[in-house]
Structure 1
Amino acid sequence: MLQRTLAKSVHVTGVGLHSGERVSLTMHPAVVDSGIRFRRTDLSGEQGEIIALTPWLINDTRLSSTVVTENGAKVGTIEHIMSALSAMGVDNVLIELNAPEIPIMDGSSLPFIYVLQDAGIVDQDAQKKFIRIKRPIVVEEPGKKVSFEPYDGFKVTLTIEFDHPVFNRSNQTYSIDFAGASYLEEIARARTFGFMQEVELMRSHNLGLGGNLTNAIVIDDFDVLNPEGLRYPDEFVRHKILDAIGDLYIAGHPIIGAFTGYKSGHAVNNALLRKMFSEPDSFEWVTFPSDKDLPTAFHPVNEYV
């Protein structure tokens, strides 16, 4: 299977969920082996240089995955666009933006899927590199646990726990094997969510400044406040899977393996990637010169998820 990039540059505008700032974002085609890179066009000097994404640059995980470089350049809330890039099989792209945060759009990854489809995805003259998990890798933190296990494909299982009437009416565990399920149908539309009672606390920390009922599910003491309700009966746990897929793609390559998370979040997801890379015997790099040898879970990227 070959590496992929965009056929043309594509542009979107929106608002940052936490910063509340207006954002202009452009995604550009990129050369083979360049990976996923960001550039803040509103910054100059070293802060305005291209940032090559790695798990070690995720240095702020308060309610999102945020790149913070040594010289202080930030690119916040990258998990939704990363999730879309993963689903579309994009290996190489330059993302330019004029603000400190990726626009939230409607709170899901679906708008980014549409933008990527509009740009078009093209094969490049180099083999796509996969990370194949060779043995179990586990990270545990108080009340949280995430793990990778060997698996011939890509499977995500996630459990959340909220003692609240809205969550008690839906499943809080969801598992999806991408060998037989569509990211676009099952995951992409799931939106981020938050509790009304936490809004004041978030805003006192300069978070959630751009959030509203058009880009997030808002929950009061008893119910969902959004007039349209939920897009899936279990939209909350599906969104956490959307986030996890984006967080894991910060590795820069598709992962052949099974991810399991219990009350996982951006910090512990990132810790799992860092542990994997720090233990070279836990994984191996693989390519598939013949698509017939490719695990079935990765076939849909040839058909726009």
Structure 2
Amino acid sequence: MLQRTLARPISVTGVGLHSGERVALTLHPASENSGISFRRTDLGGKQGEIIALTPYLINDTRLSSTVVTDSGVRVGTIEHIMSALAAYGIDNALIELNAPEIPIMDGSSLPFIYLLQDAGIIDQKAQKRFLKILKPVEVKETGKWVRFTPYNGFKITLTIEFDHPVFNRSSPTFEIDFAGKSYIDEIARARTFGFMQEVELMRSHNLGLGGNLSNAIVIDDTDVLNPEGLRYPDEFVRHKILDAVGDLYILGHPIVGAFEGYKSGHAINNALLRTVLTDPANYEWVEFKNEEDLPPAFHKLPRAA
């Protein structure tokens, strides 16, 4: 399977969920083996240079996955756009923005899916590299855990737990095996969510400044406040899967393996990636030059234009 990039640049404007700032974002094609990278166009000199994404740059995980470089350059809330890039198998892209945070759009990854569709996707000449999980790897924290296990494909199983009546109306667990289910149909429309009582606390920490009912599900003491309701009966856990897909794709390569989590979040997802990479016995890099050798989960990646 070959690497992929965009056929042409494409731009959009929006608002940062946590910063509340207006953001102009442009996605650019990038050369083979260059990976996913970011550039802050509002910064000059060394701070305005291209930032090549790695799991080791995720240095702020308060309610999002945020790149923080050694020189203090921030690119916040990258998980939704990374989730969309994973869905289309984009290996190489440059993401430019003129603010410290990716725009939240409608709180899901669907607007970024539409951007990628409009830009078009092309195959490149180099082979796509996959990270194959060779043995179980687990990270545990108080009351939560995540793990990878070997699996010939890509599958995610997540469980959430909130002491609130809204969450008792649907199953707290969702599993999706991408060999048989579509990310765009099952996951992409699920929006981020938050509790009304947390809004003031978040804003006291300069978080959630751009949040509203058009870009997040807001929950009061008893119910969902959004007049249109939920997009899926179990939209909350599906959004956690959307986040996990994006968090894991910060690696920059598709993963051949199964991911499971209980009350997972950005910090522990990133910790799992780092834990895998600490021991070469946990994984191997693989390529699939013959289509018949490709794990079924990757057969249904949308084809290049």
The TM-score range, normalised by the shorter chain, is over 0.9
CA distance in 2, matches of 1:104, 1:126: 32
* 1:163 equivalent in alignment to 2:163: yes
CA distance in 1, matches of 2:302, 2:262: 31
Tell me by how many angstroms 1:302 deviates. 3.5
CA deviation profile, 1:198-240 (whole Å, cap 9, x unmatched): 0000000000000000000000000000000000000000000
- Per the alignment, in what secondary structure is the counterpart of residue 230 of structure 2? coil
Residue matched to 2:242: 242
Tell me by how many angstroms 1:46 deviates. 1.2
CA distance in 2, matches of 1:6, 1:25: 15
Residue matched to 2:34: 34
The number of residues matched between the two structures is 304
Tell me by how many angstroms 1:27 deviates. 0.4
CA distance in 2, matches of 1:12, 1:232: 26
CA distance in 2, matches of 1:290, 1:202: 49
What residue ranges of structure 2 are gaps of 5+ in the alignment? none
Residue matched to 1:83: 83
Residue matched to 1:62: 62
TM-score (norm 1): 0.99
RMSD of aligned Cα (Å): 0.7
TM-score (norm 2): 0.99
- For residues 247-262 of structure 1, the aligned pairs below 5 Å read 247-262=247-262
- Per the alignment, in what secondary structure is the counterpart of residue 300 of structure 1? coil
- Per the alignment, in what secondary structure is the counterpart of residue 302 of structure 1? coil
Tell me by how many angstroms 1:249 deviates. 0.2
Residue matched to 2:46: 46
CA deviation profile, 1:152-205 (whole Å, cap 9, x unmatched): 000000000001110011111000000000000000000000000000000000
- Per the alignment, in what secondary structure is the counterpart of residue 299 of structure 2? helix
Residue matched to 1:283: 283
* 1:209 equivalent in alignment to 2:179: no
- Per the alignment, in what secondary structure is the counterpart of residue 86 of structure 2? helix
CA distance in 2, matches of 1:6, 1:301: 14
Tell me by how many angstroms 1:56 deviates. 0.4
CA distance in 1, matches of 2:55, 2:303: 28
- Per the alignment, in what secondary structure is the counterpart of residue 251 of structure 1? coil
CA deviation profile, 1:47-72 (whole Å, cap 9, x unmatched): 11100000000000000000000000
Tell me by how many angstroms 1:292 deviates. 1.5
Give the aligned residue type for 1:130: F
- For residues 167-182 of structure 1, the aligned pairs below 5 Å read 167-182=167-182
- Per the alignment, in what secondary structure is the counterpart of residue 118 of structure 2? helix
Tell me by how many angstroms 1:45 deviates. 1.2
CA distance in 1, matches of 2:141, 2:165: 26
Residue matched to 2:187: 187
CA distance in 2, matches of 1:27, 1:232: 29
- Per the alignment, in what secondary structure is the counterpart of residue 104 of structure 1? coil
CA distance in 1, matches of 2:279, 2:174: 29
* 1:125 equivalent in alignment to 2:125: yes
Residue matched to 1:233: 233
CA distance in 1, matches of 2:303, 2:155: 19
Residue matched to 1:23: 23
CA distance in 2, matches of 1:123, 1:59: 32
Residue matched to 2:134: 134
Residue matched to 2:107: 107
- Per the alignment, in what secondary structure is the counterpart of residue 33 of structure 1? coil
Tell me by how many angstroms 1:300 deviates. 1.3
CA distance in 2, matches of 1:226, 1:64: 22
Tell me by how many angstroms 1:303 deviates. 3.8
What residue ranges of structure 1 are gaps of 5+ in the alignment? none
CA deviation profile, 1:273-305 (whole Å, cap 9, x unmatched): 00011111100000001112101101111348x
Tell me by how many angstroms 1:38 deviates. 0.1
- Per the alignment, in what secondary structure is the counterpart of residue 257 of structure 1? strand
CA distance in 2, matches of 1:296, 1:216: 33
- Per the alignment, in what secondary structure is the counterpart of residue 46 of structure 2? helix
- Per the alignment, in what secondary structure is the counterpart of residue 241 of structure 1? helix
CA distance in 2, matches of 1:279, 1:160: 29
CA deviation profile, 1:52-103 (whole Å, cap 9, x unmatched): 0000000000000000000000000000000000000000000000000000
CA distance in 2, matches of 1:128, 1:160: 33
CA distance in 2, matches of 1:41, 1:67: 15
Give the aligned residue type for 2:139: V
CA distance in 1, matches of 2:234, 2:21: 30
